[in-house]
Amino acid sequence: MRLGLLVYFLRKALGNIRTNPFLSMVTLSTIAISMLILGLFSLIYLNVQQSLHQMGGELQITAYLQETVSSEQAKVLRSKVADWPEVEGITYISKEQALARFRSQLREYAGILEGLKENPLPASLELTLMAQYGRSGNIKELSTRLGRLPGVAEVQYGRKWMAKLRVFVEVMKLVGITVGGLLLIATIFVISNTIKLTFYSRREELEIMRLVGATDFFIKAPFLIEGLLHGLGGALLAAGGLSLLTLFLFSHLDLPLRLAMMAGSLPTGQLVAGFLGLGLLLGVLGSMVSLRRFLRP
Amino acid sequence: MRLGLLVYFLRKALGNIRTNPFLSMVTLSTIAISMLILGLFSLIYLNVQQSLHQMGGELQITAYLQETVSSEQAKVLRSKVADWPEVEGITYISKEQALARFRSQLREYAGILEGLKENPLPASLELTLMAQYGRSGNIKELSTRLGRLPGVAEVQYGRKWMAKLRVFVEVMKLVGITVGGLLLIATIFVISNTIKLTFYSRREELEIMRLVGATDFFIKAPFLIEGLLHGLGGALLAAGGLSLLTLFLFSHLDLPLRLAMMAGSLPTGQLVAGFLGLGLLLGVLGSMVSLRRFLRP
Amino acid sequence: MIQLYHVYKAYGGDQYALHDVTLTADKGDFLFITGPSGAGKTTLLKLIFCAEPATRGQLLVDGVNLQRLKRSGIPYLRRKIGVVFQDFKLLGERTVFANVGLTLEVTGRPRAYIEKKVRQVLRLVGLDAKENHLCCRLSGGEQQRVAIARAVAANPIIVLADEPTGNLDDEITLEILELFREINRRGTTVVLATHNRELIRKVPGAKVGMLRQGRLVAAGVAKQVMAQRSALEMSSQGVL
Amino acid sequence: MIQLYHVYKAYGGDQYALHDVTLTADKGDFLFITGPSGAGKTTLLKLIFCAEPATRGQLLVDGVNLQRLKRSGIPYLRRKIGVVFQDFKLLGERTVFANVGLTLEVTGRPRAYIEKKVRQVLRLVGLDAKENHLCCRLSGGEQQRVAIARAVAANPIIVLADEPTGNLDDEITLEILELFREINRRGTTVVLATHNRELIRKVPGAKVGMLRQGRLVAAGVAKQVMAQRSALEMSSQGVL
Ligand SMILES: Nc1ncnc2c1ncn2[C@@H]1O[C@H](COP(=O)(O)OP(=O)(O)OP(=O)(O)O)[C@@H](O)[C@H]1O
Ligand SMILES: Nc1ncnc2c1ncn2[C@@H]1O[C@H](COP(=O)(O)OP(=O)(O)OP(=O)(O)O)[C@@H](O)[C@H]1O
Ligand SMILES: [Mg+2]
Ligand SMILES: [Mg+2]
């Protein structure tokens, strides 16, 4: 396409926007608000997933070692298990460390320790799993494998609340993907509906263009550029709104919530770029599809 | 308003819908999809809140009793504390019960118990709180109050993960309310935009009506009824879609997830009625506001 | 019935579409408004049925002072006036019947009456066979006749017709003129804006107001004005 | 240039808007299409510039067989044809300049050329002063002239004008007719659909096709057809 033609189409598109400020405003704001909701949801979803991941990451498998295993042998075992693909982290807890932890963590049972002459707690290896292996089937299989290793006395996993949390994480994931997917579809649908309506109210103009001998390409091009501008503008507005909104929410949170959110992701340059891309796509594709409807013979 | 006139307006409205099936379809589907998203979100929010509530309900305060407190005295204490408004449930755990629980729950530390001659664990009262008193400020205050009671040796609450969960619940609440509120605003905005566009493309018709001597009321009434029908239809579609969707999701869930969801609420007659009401309101109010714009002199 | 006193109309700018127009049409009058393209004929009609407010001057229609008429009163004034718009202003996606019936519906006439009346006026304009056609599918002349039928359907006391025969052949034009004369004879005031001199010649007893660039350059009985005008043209041609 | 062989056109139903029409206009011809309202004049023009497909028969325009023309070829055919639509089909929210320039823009003419050419044709129709007005704010006659200007701006080899003077006074009508005759003299084929017999009488050498209920009831040179027609009318009046 010649540059002159491009400039011509761009000028036409701007002309269209100026001629129909109402239609432009509606399209722009619909795209903006739809994308704002979508963006807000994604951001929240990412944050929640991240916090859940952190909590879920604590789902540990503990392999208690036999009394006979020396700390050197334990370390060999550790490096062996660390190579398993499911394993995210692995820590060796010696008998002494176990006792110290018991003392600090289970203070209400501290009385128990008073009558002891020797340390009854075993050494252990504590494994955290990669998130994608966190399903209960995998964990069972893994713990069986762990139990078969020489030197491992017993394998433990999944306390009651952790299992519940796991279910909850699953539900959240499902919820997130369902709502997110539907939201995306709804956004595309609403935007395309809006664009269709704006073309509907301009169908006479489209018809007249055709009657005076304009090719379909010539008619479409300015409208596609218009759609592109609307999409870009809407995405920019949404990105701006999203940033403001998160900043506002952020500054109104209690400290712990704020820290929890810090762990997640705030809107970044990358996210904004992706947003603009999506807006652009929505604007152009929406216009393309809608135009076809009104350029049919 | 005379009944004849109402029938006339209704027939006009149906005529409008038949004349402009495209516009009706767009309005109807936009209302339906917007409300579907809104409904789905509300449903999920309710469910998640309920599950969180159940998990959060486990946030306990444990008051360890002095060795000198007899079980009768403990029971007096229990019934006293049970009357406090913040307290949802209260359980007396005797020394023996505590030991048994330790054995079963903390099996990895079972070795500790081997060398004991007498039970070092204290008796305790375990309190669960009403959800609305679950904020950390209240808990602190409550535990101070508990600690001052005669016979109470020590008060413990909020293990690490519980605190985290609590933060998470707060975040979820905030997220839910934010997203939900924005979703509602967006829905209203999108629906009103759509209705505005349909009137925009019919502005000539509105103008002609005025030119032949129709009063504003006479012009508006059929359009309002049309909006009402669209709103009602959209809400019905959304309610139907929502029911199908939840049924579908439900039948594709793992058992634990299904149970988790069972705990929450599925769409009920009440919810559907509320939905229809909201749809009706959106349709009529949206039309009313949009019409005003195009009936200005 | 219609009185204009020193009426001015400017659309935004400082150019007047109507400039100091004083004109009267009494009950039962047949008034032609004529003049070249852009003279202000349509503007004059628009003022009469409150589609535009006058910039200055006094307008009285059926005793109502339009400058003082409230917005809520406009529909009731318009029901007394049947208008044939120059661009027809039909609802293209509605049937001929629905379009013609519109003026009757807005006044709340019963359905049976509407059906009878609509069929009757459609017969008058020769479109009884097209009752159920969509207006956008009619020929130009057919649309114009629908517009005429709509204007007269509600038995208005004033009919304003803006170039109502521009798309009609001579034969139908005469029939339509006869239609206007007939309702005029029954007491309706008819104001007809046209370029067609033939039309004016056919109603020698009518009043004529001739506009040129917004000013009333001639007014009086048709016969006289047309004669005067011919003389004027001849003299102006002689000058050029 | 334009050839129709046994052309039929039905809009959906079984009634023909055109019924077995055979008609030719050679390069440089001036062809009037006349006939009463609803006779099929507009339909005939619509077939020529591919706004509607013929139901049956052969159409050739500038050597192109329209029955075989692909959708993608239609715009290029239309660029050779300037059309004055009966209902103008202007972009109301655009300026006069933008409307007239449209036909030049779609063929990719440079901006400077467009400006020059648009001003020139606007001068021809007497609207040079209204260049920057929005079309919806023009009077009926002014709009019609914009439509005429748009049709001739791109120097088409065929001009189709559908009742192009229905909203114009006698003086401007003559000027417009002169405009069409001028471009006709330069070799453009002009097809003019009209009710106005005066117009036809003014171009005695033109061809005339007379339609009635979709059938071509008379065709030939204007002078002869009009004479024949008068005779016909007299005899039919005598019969009635
Ligand atoms: N809405 C408007 N805004 C601005 N100017 C207008 C508007 N309507 C009409 N005009 C201008 O006012 C003048 C008179 O217009 P009007 O429509 O009254 O003419 P007319 O006598 O009806 O002409 P015609 O015979 O061509 O219909 C014209 O110059 C026109 O351009
Ligand atoms: N799109 C359409 N759908 C159905 N019928 C149509 C359509 N367009 C025209 N007709 C019918 O075809 C017949 C011829 O219409 P056409 O517009 O060709 O007439 P015309 O000669 O141009 O008349 P006029 O002088 O009134 O403009 C008319 O009876 C009309 O009702
Ligand atoms: Mg006019
Ligand atoms: Mg026609």
Do D123 and D75 lie in one domain? The reply is no
Q: Is C76 left (phi over 0), alpha (psi -120 to 50) or beta?
A: alpha
Least confident of A57-61, A231-235, C183-187: A57-61
Do C202 and C144 lie in one domain? The reply is no
Does D138 contact ligand 1 (Cβ within 6 A)? yes
- Please indicate, yes or no, if residue C112 is contained in any of the structural domains: yes
Q: How many residues does chain D have?
A: 240
Does D43 contact ligand 2 (Cβ within 6 A)? yes
Do D57 and D113 lie in one domain? The reply is no
Q: Which ligand is nearest to the CA of D43?
A: 2
> How many CA atoms within 13 Å lie on the side-chain side of B257?
17
CB neighbour burial string for A240-264, b if at least 16 within 10 angstroms, e if fewer: ebbeebbeebeeebeebbeebbeeb
- Please indicate, yes or no, if residue C85 is contained in any of the structural domains: no
Of B221, B247, B239, give the one whose Cα is nearest residue B277: B239
Name the strands in the sheet holding C2-10, side by side, starting at the edge strand that comes first in the sequence: C16-25, C2-10, C56-61, C64-65
Do B169 and B44 lie in one domain? The reply is yes
Does C38 contact ligand 1 (Cβ within 6 A)? yes
Neighboring chains of B (3 or more beta-carbon pairs < 8 A): A, C
Do C38 and C127 lie in one domain? The reply is no
Do D166 and D56 lie in one domain? The reply is yes
pLDDT 10s digits, B134-156: 555 677 788 888 888 888 887 87
**Where is D1: in which H helix or E strand?**
none
What burial class does residue B202 get, using C-beta atoms within 10 Å of its C-beta: 0-12 exposed, 13-18 middle, 19+ buried?
buried
What distance in Å separates the CA atoms of residue A74 and residue A69, rounded to the nearest whole number?
6
Do A15 and A69 lie in one domain? The reply is no
- Please indicate, yes or no, if residue C62 is contained in any of the structural domains: yes
Do A45 and A171 lie in one domain? The reply is yes
Least confident of A87-101, B231-245, D162-176: A87-101
pLDDT 10s digits, D207-219: 999 999 999 999 9
**Is the model's pLDDT at C4 over the cut of 70?**
yes
Question: CA separation (Å) from C198 to B24, C162, C184?
Answer: 48, 16, 19
Between residues C236 and A248, the one the model is more confident about: A248
Do D67 and D18 lie in one domain? The reply is yes
Nearest CA to ligand 1 atom 2: D137
Q: Which ligand is nearest to the CA of D141?
A: 1
Do D105 and D173 lie in one domain? The reply is no
pLDDT 10s digits, B75-99: 888 888 888 887 878 888 888 888 7
- Choosing from B104, B127, B157, the residue where a domain stops is B157
CA dihedral C112, C113, C116, C118 (to 10 degrees): -110
- Given a contact cutoff of 8 angstroms between Cβ atoms, the answer to whether C199 and C177 are in contact is yes
Q: Which ligand is nearest to the CA of C211?
A: 1
A201 CA → ligand 3 middle, Å = 26
- SS3 assignment, position B150: coil
Do B138 and B270 lie in one domain? The reply is no
**Is the model's pLDDT at A262 over the cut of 60?**
no
- Choosing from C155, C175, C210, the residue where a domain stops is C155
Question: Are the Cβ atoms of C94 and B19 closer than 8 angstroms?
Answer: yes
D78 CA → ligand 4 middle, Å = 19
Do D197 and D108 lie in one domain? The reply is no
What distance in Å separates the CA atoms of residue A257 and residue A255, rounded to the nearest whole number?
5
Nearest residue of chain C to residue D85 (CA atoms): C140
User: Can you give the pLDDT at residue D55?
Assistant: 94
What distance in Å separates the CA atoms of residue B129 and residue B150, rounded to the nearest whole number?
21
The answer for C 68-107 residues in CB contact with B (under 8 A) is: 71-72, 75-79, 81, 83, 85, 89-91, 93-94, 98, 102-103, 105-107
Question: Are the Cβ atoms of B209 and C108 closer than 8 angstroms?
Answer: no
Do A48 and A193 lie in one domain? The reply is yes
For the segment A256-274, the average pLDDT, to the nearest whole number, is 61
Give the domain CATH number at D15: 3.40.50.300
- Choosing from C155, C182, C203, the residue where a domain stops is C155
Give the domain CATH number at A134: 3.30.70.3040
**Residue carrying the six token digits 């207006």:** C135
Predicted complex: ipTM over 0.90: no
Do B140 and B177 lie in one domain? The reply is no
Does C39 contact ligand 1 (Cβ within 6 A)? yes
Q: List beta partners, residue C81.
A: C158
| Token pair recorded at residue C61 | 């229609």
Question: CA separation (Å) from A33 to A11, A258, B238?
Answer: 27, 25, 21
Residues 6 or more apart whose CB falls under 8 angstroms from that of D5 comprise: D22, D57, D58, D59
For the segment A245-257, the average pLDDT, to the nearest whole number, is 66
**What is the dihedral sign for C-alpha C144, C145, C146, C151?**
positive
For the segment A102-113, the average pLDDT, to the nearest whole number, is 66
Do B168 and B286 lie in one domain? The reply is yes
Of C80, C131, C73, give the one whose Cα is nearest residue C103: C80
Contacts of A103 in chain B (CB under 8 A): none
Radius of gyration of chain B (CA): 30
Report the share of chain A in percent with pLDDT over 90: 24
Do C129 and C167 lie in one domain? The reply is no
- Given a contact cutoff of 8 angstroms between Cβ atoms, the answer to whether D84 and D180 are in contact is no
In eight-state DSSP terms, residue A254 is -
**Residue carrying the six token digits 């009602």:** B232
Question: Are the Cβ atoms of B171 and A249 closer than 8 angstroms?
Answer: no
Containing structural domain, residue D105: 90-155
Of D171, D154, D170, D216, give the one whose Cα is nearest residue D4: D216
- How far separated are the first and last CA of chain D, in Å rounded? 41
Do B183 and B73 lie in one domain? The reply is no
- Please indicate, yes or no, if residue D183 is contained in any of the structural domains: yes
Do D163 and D143 lie in one domain? The reply is no
pLDDT band at C173 (very low <50, low <70, confident <90, very high): very high
User: Can you give the pLDDT at residue B267?
Assistant: 55
- Please indicate, yes or no, if residue D20 is contained in any of the structural domains: yes
Do B43 and B94 lie in one domain? The reply is no
> How many CA atoms within 13 Å lie on the side-chain side of C118?
24
C38 CA → ligand 1 middle, Å = 5
For the segment D217-235, the average pLDDT, to the nearest whole number, is 80
Nearest residue of chain A to residue B293 (CA atoms): A22
| Model pTM score | 0.84
Q: For chain C, where are the E strands, in sequence order?
A: 2-10, 16-25, 30-34, 56-61, 64-65, 81-84, 158-162, 189-193, 207-212, 215-221
Facing residue for A26 by CB, picked from B40, B156, B197:
B197
Name the strands in the sheet holding A152-157, side by side, starting at the edge strand that comes first in the sequence: A87-93, A124-129, A60-65, A152-157
Angle between helices B269-295 and B203-211 (to 10 degrees): 60
Contacts of A21 in chain D (CB under 8 A): none
Total domains in the fold of chain A: 2
**What is the dihedral sign for C-alpha D73, D79, D84, D85?**
positive
Contacts of A194 in chain B (CB under 8 A): 190, 193-194, 197
Neighbours of A61 (CB within 10 A): 21
User: Can you give the pLDDT at residue A82?
Assistant: 84
- Considering only the C-alpha atoms of chain D, give the largest distance between any 2 of them, rounded to a whole number of Å: 62
pLDDT 10s digits, D68-116: 999 999 999 999 999 999 999 999 999 999 999 999 999 889 999 999 9
- Choosing from B157, B176, B207, the residue where a domain stops is B157
Do C71 and C167 lie in one domain? The reply is yes
- Given a contact cutoff of 8 angstroms between Cβ atoms, the answer to whether A120 and B111 are in contact is yes
Contacts of D197 in chain C (CB under 8 A): 170
- SS3 assignment, position D6: strand
Average pLDDT along chain B: 80
What distance in Å separates the CA atoms of residue A81 and residue A149, rounded to the nearest whole number?
10
Of C236, C7, B106, C54, give the one whose Cα is nearest residue A101: B106
Do A280 and A179 lie in one domain? The reply is yes
| Token pair recorded at residue C163 | 């170039």
- Choosing from B157, B177, B209, the residue where a domain stops is B157
Contacts of D36 in chain C (CB under 8 A): 141, 169, 171-172
Question: Are the Cβ atoms of C195 and D169 closer than 8 angstroms?
Answer: yes
- Best residue in B208, B212, B219 for a mutation probing chain C (most C CBs within 10 Å): B212
**Residue carrying the six token digits 């204009």:** C4
User: Can you give the pLDDT at residue B135?
Assistant: 59
Give the ligand 2 atom nearest the CA of D40: 18
CA dihedral C8, C12, C14, C20 (to 10 degrees): -10
pLDDT band at B53 (very low <50, low <70, confident <90, very high): low
Do A131 and A203 lie in one domain? The reply is no
Do C69 and C163 lie in one domain? The reply is yes
Total domains in the fold of chain D: 2
Do B276 and B177 lie in one domain? The reply is yes
Nearest CA to ligand 2 atom 22: D42
pLDDT band at A114 (very low <50, low <70, confident <90, very high): low
Between residues A26 and B51, the one the model is more confident about: A26
How far off is chain A from B116, nearest CA to CA, in Å? 6
Least confident of A160-169, B34-43, B243-252: A160-169
For the segment C63-69, the average pLDDT, to the nearest whole number, is 93
User: Can you give the pLDDT at residue D235?
Assistant: 61
Question: CA separation (Å) from C210 to C32, C195, D176?
Answer: 8, 10, 22
**What is the dihedral sign for C-alpha D50, D56, D57, D63?**
positive
**What is the dihedral sign for C-alpha D135, D139, D143, D146?**
negative
Between residues B267 and A124, the one the model is more confident about: A124
Containing structural domain, residue B74: 60-157
In eight-state DSSP terms, residue C205 is T
**Where is B82: in which H helix or E strand?**
helix B71-82
Does D143 contact ligand 2 (Cβ within 6 A)? no
